[in-house]
Amino acid sequence: MASLNRNLNHAPLPAAIFAFALALVAMTGCDNDREILDVETPNGGIEVEQDQDTGAIEVETHDENN
């Protein structure tokens, strides 16, 4: 019985660590973007994404020369 009480006394620590980790994940959120096009070339690239919630299109270009 003493070992059971000892194990129960330490149970809140793992639960608190799990709750903290879950809170961190929830706070970071996630982009609800769908990748439409991703082209990579030796000189750069282009990425086109669409927001699933609003339908907005985002275009990013990458220049490898600079």
**pLDDT tens string 13-44:** 677 777 777 776 666 666 778 999 999 988 89
pTM attached to this predicted model = 0.51
The domain spans of the chain are 2-63
Label residue 16 exposed, middle or buried (CB < 10 Å: 0-12, 13-18, 19+).
Answer: exposed
